[in-house]
Structures are given as C-alpha cells and as structure tokens.
Structure 1
C-alpha cells in the first residue's frame, strides 16, 4: 500500500469490526482533540475495544463530541465514569496539570489507564504515580491495573527499524528535532499556560527526550545547555514556544534536542555534521536518520549512510567510498494501514489481557523522561512545571 492517499485513508478510516463479548469498555475524560487519534479511530478496528462513554467540564461540549464520534453515553462528571462498574479502562487526554490526579483516581477505581503524554507535570509527580503501591501486586491486589503513558510513536515499527541500524556502543552524537507550524498554535493554547504545565518541552520535547533515551539505552547525566524562546508579555513568559537543549550521556556522549511550536509551513531539519574527534581513525562511519518520528503513518524514512576508508601502511587514505540506502516500514493488516496509535492500542489491550507485548513504555521510562524534562527546565531558568498537589488518600 505505497500510495500515500490510500495509506492515509485506510489509517484514518479503518473498518468497523464486530466486538467480542469480553470487550474492554473505555471511558474518556475530557472532549480533547487528541482523543479521536489516540483511541476513537483505532478502536473501530479492534474487536476487543469499545468506547462507551465520555464526560467533560461542559456537558454540551461532551454531547456534541459524543454525537460526532458515535459515543453512546455522556456522563455528568469524570467521577461518574470511574464509578461505572461496566467501564474497564480510562483514556485521560486532559491538560498536563490534571494527569497526575485523574490517573491516580482512575487506578484507585480499579480502571486500566491510557494516559496521554507527558504523563504528569514533573519528575516528582512521575515518581508519585508510577511508584504508587496501587501498581504493585499484593495479596489484596494480585492483578494491578495497567498504566501506560501514550507515547504512540514508540509503537510504530519505523522506530524499531531505525534502532536496528544502531550499535549503541559506537554512538558519539545524537541530534533530534521536531516542530508544529506557527499557524497551528496561538498564545491562548494550553501549551502556553504555566499553571497547566505548558511549554514546548512538554508538548513536543518529550518525544525528542524519549527518543534520545531509546537510542542511547540510558538516561542523561546532565543537561549542559538549554536555550528557550517564550512570549514576554508577563503572562506566558514561563512557557517556552521553542527550545534547544544539550545533554551529556554516559561515556561523555552528547545529544541535542530542539523543537518549536511556531515552525514554518515547509520544514526540513538540518542534519548536523559532527566530524571526527582529534586522533580518531575510522574504517567505517555510519549516520542513521529517522524522518517522521512522531507521525510515521503520514510519511517516514530511515536513511543509512556508511562511509568507508581503506588506509595504507603509512596511514594515508588510499580509497574512500560511500554506501547509502533508505527503508520504510508500513504495516497493513486486514486491508487497514495501521498508524502508531493502532499499534499502541493493540499492545495496551495485550497487556490488559495478559498476553505478550513486543514493545512497551515501562513506568521507569516515563519517570526518566520527566527527569530529563525537569533537568532542561531547570537549566533554562524557566523552572519545572508546577505540581497539582493532589494526594490519593
């Protein structure tokens, strides 16, 4: 299915399948714009998932959302969803500042939780959530609920393809960049509200930070530099709309992450030329680039460039050549082009059902991702995003 129009049509218009008797019934907290991508669209082709109900602060908005997306029930409150014994799992696409509270409330109600990224507002909240006793098996709680931070891009096979070309012990430098066009954001967005844990690092930066950890297979030791741009109107000045952060990973290896929420319409990030360190000699150097990290179903490509050198006895280069190749990894199942969200939902259900998962975002990963965010915000001078102050009794 190489035709991009056909690929996107089947991804965003999957077939409706018959649901099984043991279907997982979802409740959605908030009529958020990301909910259709995260759950409602991929649920159509999953025989074990049904979106049963939704609630929002504005009931009329919830009713309109439910009508548009074919959700049969509208509840009066988030808590009413949690109190419904027929609801098995919860999607939380609320503003970042509400993630910690409603994830804990949902888990306490015995519900599995698919939690939009970033999982919480800061590292302290991440520790509180993912290390909470409610997630640990015990005699009174032998099968704890499943909690997954929805880093959907992690589940697309393009990332696994990219990582297959990397030898972690040979990595010297990693660069990652992302953006949202300027015309898709405005100063009024929740991205620029500090009390809602906004900022470009929270919006797009977490994708870059998680990618760096997966590439190195480790967490950074230090954020050595973080430069930001933000509105300077006294109201939004703590929320960056652009950042560039540099990290040091074990072995004195470097990485740079950059993103903007006010990018150009047409964009291609510059691939840095790091060159060789003093005294280094290479037989082969490899540069691997993954284009389309976040929305691989729209378009992605993995480029591999190998540079070979043959040196004589005196050390002079007698021959140099370059080999290049590119690969893509789209996956079609039953006539449907699976997007990253569909892969994610498949694995979430597999974990709930006790089946094997081939890829997963572990709680430890979510905690470490937020530690990176805090490191960068501290280095930038903007400060970490505020905690909600919620504690589960």
Structure 2
C-alpha cells in the first residue's frame, strides 16, 4: 500500500509528445493538484500550460508541474490563448455554469469538476449548447473520476440492474476537514453536503439501478442555524423509489467522525434462478447476492469488493428448500488487468489514481480513440435532476441559478 500510494503522488514522467494537449486551470482550487496536475505528470499527451488566479501566491501550486512554461494568468487570458486546448474548471460549484459556457464558446475542451452545475436548469442549458452538437465540437466531461477506476468497472459488472432491489451508499468528510466559512457552506456558490460528497452517492444509486428515480421519498438534511449558513446542509440522508419498485438510500456528512472512513455502496438483489446442470430436472438453484464496494471514491488508496451469496436448492413443484448455504468472496482491482474479463486489455498501472484513469479517457475522447467510461450529457442532466429532487424534499429547494446566459 505504501509503495503504491507513494508512486501515485510521485509518478514516472515520460517525455511529452509533440501533439500533447495543453491545459489551462481556472482558479487556484485546492483540488487541482490531485485532480489534474499530479495525474498529468505521467501522461505523455498532457501539459499544464497555465493557471488562472486573482492571487498569484495562491496559484503557487503550478510549480508542482515542473514545466518551465507553466504561467499564472488572468482567467480571460487563458480563454483567449490559442495555445491552450483544454480547460479544467475546479471553481466553486456556483461558478461552473458560466465558465464552462465561456470555455466551450471559444472552442476549448472542458473537464468540469462535479457537480457539473448548480441545478438541472443549468444542466439542461449547458449540456445542450448548440456548440456541442457541431462537427468537431469540444469535449465536455463532468469529472466523476471514481467511475473511471477499475474497481468500479468490476463492481458494476457483477450487478444485473434488473435484479437489484436495494442500493445503499454512504460517504463522509471528518469534522476537522471543513469549516463554516469554506465553500461547502456558501449558499450563493451552491454549497451543501449533497452537492459535495453526496453527489457520488446519488450517482452510485442511478448507475446500479440503471434507471432514474421516480420519487424522493424522504430527505432529512441537517444545516447550521446561525442565519448565515442555514441553507447549506452539512449532512443528509435521502431515500428514493426507482421504477422497478426498488429503494435507494444515500447519506453523507461533512461533519463526520475524527477518523476518515472510506465511502461505500452496497447492492442487494432479489432471488434469481441460476443454471446448474448437476441438479435433477425437478429441482432448481437460486441465488441472492449482496455486494459492497468499500473505498468507492478513492480506490487507489484502498478498496475491496465483498460478495456475499446465499444459495438454495428447492423443488420446482413443491417449493421446498432441500439445501441452503452461503459463500463469501472478496476482490480488488487496481488495474483493468486485475478486473479481468472484458476489461483485461485496457491500460493502467497499480498506482494510477482514479483521476489518472479519468484523464486517460478525456484525452482519448479528444484524440478520437475509444474510451472505457464517459459521463455523457444526459447522464449529467439526470444527475442534477436527482439532486434537485432531494433538495425540494428537504425544504430549501434547488441551489440558485446563475444569471449568466
């Protein structure tokens, strides 16, 4: 584990190719080194060209790129620079909409931190911009980095959405890692626990049911009551009803225990008949499965897929159970080779972060090569509709809509 994590933060640096994509980063956000600067070091087709910031000292992290041509610039200068191909937007949530549109309209590819925007109204406008439907349109990707990681691909391959009856997911940030004054609790900038870690949990529910929720049955959101931050939830628990009658439960907190605990998602399936040629024709074998992906968000640090199967053999006519037993297994997949099956030939290293796998997909899409995982426009729109649904149920309603058009 120690060597893997060390290598994740200190990757080998291949020579950059002549046609490498040049990135500009909008804003000196703390997530930028983890989400793009470090992953770019090991990608031969990515160069960090410039970082925009109102405060040049805050943008000092650009030194971590170790490229002499990385510069700190004003936002407008980055968008106007013909030498910059792609824009990474790690700004506060409430600024995503405006700057993604501005970037797309000048022909830049956009890697957009999640959640993509503040609400579904903005999502409908952004992801259906006319510029995105033109030939050679810019690429626009909502950065759900964890979905690019091999363990997530393996986990989903073990689940048949038609059999899912319940999905539960939880995430957390310790209390000491946030404060009332940071952007998580800034309502005009679209803060809140649902907009933060909670959006990972919502996406997990949608993807494992392979459907959109029909109703938010309940959403208990806790917020500060000091009159300044009282519209921003610091923790929540929401329940959704899906088209097959299944239940999805998501919860998260920005005020968690002192020790950081991995996020997780658990899937429960109905009993299904599975083939078994060894049984007499009068009997059938059934399976009920519970799967848990521990370390759902940052799999490179640690993750484990736990599979708990309950089997029974019963008479087809009588329904009488003649045998019952359980089997438990665990799996890990830091690379697609470890994931096996249809994924075995996809690139990756054991020390690649989910952000590095995501960057691989982003570059491949721009270069016209196949991508394993891509968050499409309708996916991102549906994600924001689910978030709006929860906020309406909890009381305050969706986050505010930008006036920019």
Return the TM-score normalized by structure 2.
Answer: 0.89
Give the equivalent residue in structure 2 for 1:188: 181
- Note if 1:249 corresponds to 2:242: yes
Q: Is the 8 A contact 2:163 2:269 kept in 1?
A: no
Counterpart of 2:42 (choices 40, 45, 52) is 45
Q: What is the deviation of 1:213?
A: 1.1
5 Å-filtered alignment, 1:27-176, equals: 27-62=24-59, 64-70=60-66, 72-137=69-134, 142-176=135-169
Deviation per CA, 1:149-197, whole angstroms, max 9, x where unpaired?
1000010011111111111111111111111111111111100010110
Q: Is the 8 A contact 2:270 2:288 kept in 1?
A: no
Distance in 1 (CA, whole Å) between partners of 2:8 and 2:267 is 36
5 Å-filtered alignment, 1:270-289, equals: 283-289=286-292
Distance in 2 (CA, whole Å) between partners of 1:105 and 1:274 is 43
Q: Is the 8 A contact 1:14 1:336 kept in 2?
A: no
Counterpart of 2:328 (choices 324, 327, 332) is 324
Q: Is the 8 A contact 1:10 1:335 kept in 2?
A: no
Q: What is the deviation of 1:58?
A: 1.6
Indicate the SS of the match to 1:386: coil
Q: What is the deviation of 1:67?
A: 3.0
Change (3 A) 1:335 1:244: closer
Distance in 2 (CA, whole Å) between partners of 1:351 and 1:335 is 20
Change (3 A) 1:128 1:268: closer
Give the equivalent residue in structure 1 for 2:309: 306
Q: What is the deviation of 1:119?
A: 0.4
Give the equivalent residue in structure 2 for 1:346: 360
Indicate the SS of the match to 2:238: strand
Change (3 A) 1:103 1:269: closer
Indicate the SS of the match to 1:233: coil
Q: Is the 8 A contact 2:262 2:295 kept in 1?
A: no
- Note if 1:292 corresponds to 2:295: yes
Give the equivalent residue in structure 1 for 2:197: 204
Change (3 A) 1:252 1:283: same
Distance in 2 (CA, whole Å) between partners of 1:152 and 1:60 is 28
Q: What is the deviation of 1:291?
A: 0.6
Q: Is the 8 A contact 1:179 1:259 kept in 2?
A: yes
Give the equivalent residue in structure 2 for 1:360: 374
Distance in 2 (CA, whole Å) between partners of 1:351 and 1:100 is 22
Indicate the SS of the match to 2:241: strand
Indicate the SS of the match to 1:201: coil
Indicate the SS of the match to 1:202: coil
Indicate the SS of the match to 2:136: coil
Indicate the SS of the match to 2:146: helix
Change (3 A) 1:336 1:329: closer
Q: What is the deviation of 1:265?
A: 3.1
Distance in 2 (CA, whole Å) between partners of 1:127 and 1:237 is 28
Distance in 2 (CA, whole Å) between partners of 1:68 and 1:89 is 19
Deviates more, 1:263-272 or 1:196-205: 263-272
Q: Is the 8 A contact 1:156 1:343 kept in 2?
A: yes
Indicate the SS of the match to 1:200: coil
- Note if 1:11 corresponds to 2:8: yes
Give the gaps of 5 or more residues in structure 1.
none
Q: What is the deviation of 1:70?
A: 3.3
Deviation per CA, 1:75-133, whole angstroms, max 9, x where unpaired?
44111001011000011000000000000000111110000001000000001100010
Give the gaps of 5 or more residues in structure 2.
272-283, 338-346
Give the equivalent residue in structure 1 for 2:399: 385
Indicate the SS of the match to 2:97: helix
Give the equivalent residue in structure 1 for 2:278: none
Return the TM-score normalized by structure 1.
Answer: 0.92
Change (3 A) 1:270 1:59: closer
